[in-house]
Structure 1
Amino acid sequence: MGDKPILSISDMSIVFSSPDEADIEAVRQVDLTLTPGKTLALVGESGCGKSVTARAVLRLLDKNADIQRGSIIFAPGDAEATDIVQLRQDSLPLRAIRGNQISMIFQEPMSSLSPVHTIGDQIDEMMVIHEGLKPKQARERTVALLDQVGIPGARERADAYPFQLSGGLRQRAMIAMALACTPKVLIADEPTTALDVTTQAQILDLLRQLQADFGMAMLFITHDLGVVAEIADEVAVMYLGDVVEQGSVFDVFAAPKHPYTQALMSSIPKMARKADRVRLSPIKGTVPAPRDRPQGCAFTSRCPYAFEPCATIRPERTAIGDNHHARCHLLTRQPAEAAA
């Protein structure tokens, strides 16, 4: 696979407006890059802005949310680059991308799939709309997709409604729908969160195999660092709307530089003999409400290393090595400051 990015999010900020309160910046100047055949994991606590970032790519934000600044450049090798931010909502160019070239596996299939249409009808519709297939052709493709994602009795299951399937089968059906048009970019929003460990492992294996088959770029959203280590090539750590650290999985896991990333690593349970057991090291404090975000570093109120500039000056994106960056004042702290 080439190293040329297929999707580049640059300096993107998303603001939620309210008639009663001040606007809230939910995502702040995010930079992410997706490459064909590679997986970027977006990691962070619940409410940090991961899903909002993903939905922004497909322009599926709530009515009171707005991409206030930045760009989302989609550059498939066979077509001209497009800034998705500049496309008019529900325009034909955006519809041609959404669900066709960029597809999404939503977090909860039971609330994302239509309860009054069969699984087969919902997948058929994707191919009829985007690829112009006749209904019979679309149904044959749907059955093949359901079989490919490991749903037993695929032809019969195509006539089932979502409530007639187990959680694992619904998730597989959602994956089949996302892959119906062979997208170039797949966004997976916590696709294994509500599944048991065995089904989770099967879904991860399936996504890896499908990525290898189709050469897709994948944005995988999760809060499970164990899943990240298993599936991702690169990882971006998000806190309160900020990407605080980004790099290869090896670099970030072996030598995390931001205090939040270090705290996440320290809070992972480890297998050990009874004599070697140690207490988990939780992250002290709580995540501030978005409207109470510090002006400087978002992690200031919980950081054990915070010093004077942290609360008032936002850290610059500092390069640590090849393709490894973090936003932390400690990385640019002068010797005189360290001594103080």
Structure 2
Amino acid sequence: MPPTPMADKPLLKIEDVEIAFSSPDEADIVAVRQVDLSLYPGKTLCLVGESGCGKSVTARAVLRLNDQNSLIRCGRIRFSPSDGETVDIAALKPDSLAMRKIRGNQISMIFQEPMSSLSPVHTVGDQIDEMIMLHEGLKPKDARERTVALLDQVGVPGPRERANSYPFQLSGGLRQRAMIAMALACKPNLLIADEPTTALDVTTQAQILDLLKELQEEYGMAMLFITHDLGVVAEIADEVAVMYLGDVVEQGNVFDVFRAPSHPYTQALMRSIPTIARKKERQRLSPIKGTVPSAKDRPEGCAFTSRCPYAFEPCAGMMPGRTSVSGNHVARCHLLTENARKAEVPA
């Protein structure tokens, strides 16, 4: 295992980032606002929340892979590799040479559905070869040997033969393993995994998660993992950030957040997890009532107001600030501020 870089300096630091999408007929739609996240070398940060909460938009912004009509309206995305200078990715153009040197080399991404992410007209081996030759300048023969070794490392049987296969000739699990091999081809400092197990069966999901943990330990890389499965979060995360309609409503050490969820949305997510005890007692699941509002109709205050059972007057009109729960555990909720205020007032 390679030596882990100094852990007192974040590898990736997202500071007050706001991302909007423009439309020729309508005003800009804000998809992500005031996001602050820090990811340290060798650690795993999980972004969790319902579909449409801005998790993938945030992660894709790190590699500048969002659609052309997207705009980082404010904030910085600081990337600080141990062997280079700090770069503000938010200030780079998506097609710039500096960004292309980072993308796939120092920061790689595993996409949710490899069938639509891999080229259907090129073999799996050719696509991994291209990545290696582009960033490391190896000759085709040497690149192919590296590709075969990578496919073998991620558990693809018959790696030399499989390298000559097209994506449609592989099962979903093997396609995902091939995608992981491609992402690790240049030994990145940071791996972004965008719900890499969603389309897989339960057994294959467990295998892929175990594989990612083993490879993370071997390469000493940091991992930004996107999921809506709290069971996965509990298994692999060091830190967790809960997102709702583009806002990070709660974040902190995974043990602190799971032990004492402090935002009503996090609490509702925890209550909606099916458990063996609930099944034995024939208890119904506790779904979160309502749906995530459209980003076009975002409330001025807390985005969770319309679904929150504890909402009161300030919630709809004012965005809550970050309140410290304990240590690095923080949440954005007016209830925390109100309860703290009441605690200071003598009875």
- Give SS of 1:29's match: strand
Out of 26, 29, 37, the residue aligned to residue 31 of structure 2 is 26
The CA distance in 1 between the partners of 2:125 and 2:262, in whole Å, is: 47
1:80 corresponds in structure 2 to: 85
1:237 corresponds in structure 2 to: 242
Counterpart amino acid of residue 335 in structure 1: K
Counterpart amino acid of residue 34 in structure 2: Q
Listed as ranges, the gaps of 5+ residues in structure 2 are: none
Cα deviation digits, residues 242-290 of structure 1 (max 9, x gap)? 0000011111111000000000000011102766332211111111111
Number of corresponding residues: 339
Residues 270 and 84 of structure 1: CA distance in aligned 2, closer, same or farther (over 3 Å): same
1:94 corresponds in structure 2 to: 99
Correspondence 1:335 to 2:305 = no
**Residues 205-216 of structure 1: matches in 2 within 5 Å?**
205-216=210-221
Cα deviation digits, residues 114-163 of structure 1 (max 9, x gap)? 00000000000011000011111100000000000000000000000000
2:110 corresponds in structure 1 to: 105
Cα deviation digits, residues 70-100 of structure 1 (max 9, x gap)? 0000001111100011112311111110000
1:183 corresponds in structure 2 to: 188
Counterpart amino acid of residue 214 in structure 2: Q
Residues 330 and 182 of structure 1: CA distance in aligned 2, closer, same or farther (over 3 Å): same
The CA distance in 2 between the partners of 1:9 and 1:254, in whole Å, is: 26
1:114 corresponds in structure 2 to: 119
Residues 40 and 312 of structure 1: CA distance in aligned 2, closer, same or farther (over 3 Å): same
Out of 198, 201, 204, the residue aligned to residue 199 of structure 1 is 204
2:297 corresponds in structure 1 to: 292
Counterpart amino acid of residue 211 in structure 1: Q
Residues 312 and 273 of structure 1: CA distance in aligned 2, closer, same or farther (over 3 Å): closer
User: What's the offset of the Cα at 1:64?
Assistant: 1.0
Out of 59, 62, 66, the residue aligned to residue 61 of structure 1 is 66
The CA distance in 2 between the partners of 1:66 and 1:173, in whole Å, is: 32
Larger deviation, residues 278-287 vs 247-256: 278-287
- Give SS of 1:117's match: coil
The CA distance in 1 between the partners of 2:24 and 2:278, in whole Å, is: 56
Counterpart amino acid of residue 266 in structure 2: T
Larger deviation, residues 177-186 vs 268-277: 268-277
User: What's the offset of the Cα at 1:336?
Assistant: 9.4
Out of 302, 307, 331, the residue aligned to residue 302 of structure 1 is 307
Correspondence 1:36 to 2:41 = yes
Contact 2:52 2:292 (8 Å CA) reproduced:
no
Correspondence 1:123 to 2:101 = no
Runs (4+) of structure 1 moved beyond 3 Å?
Answer: none
- Give SS of 1:296's match: coil
The CA distance in 1 between the partners of 2:278 and 2:307, in whole Å, is: 31
Correspondence 1:47 to 2:52 = yes
Correspondence 1:257 to 2:227 = no
- Give SS of 1:202's match: helix
- Give SS of 1:272's match: helix
1:218 corresponds in structure 2 to: 223
Out of 7, 10, 15, the residue aligned to residue 5 of structure 1 is 10
Larger deviation, residues 98-107 vs 317-326: 317-326
Counterpart amino acid of residue 231 in structure 2: G
Q: Percent identity?
A: 78
**Scaled by the length of structure 2, what TM-score is found?**
0.95
Counterpart amino acid of residue 327 in structure 1: R
Larger deviation, residues 193-202 vs 272-281: 272-281
Out of 155, 163, 170, the residue aligned to residue 160 of structure 2 is 155
Contact 2:135 2:186 (8 Å CA) reproduced:
yes
- Give SS of 1:8's match: strand
Listed as ranges, the gaps of 5+ residues in structure 1 are: none
Correspondence 1:134 to 2:139 = yes
Counterpart amino acid of residue 74 in structure 2: R
Aligned alpha-carbon RMSD (Å): 1.5
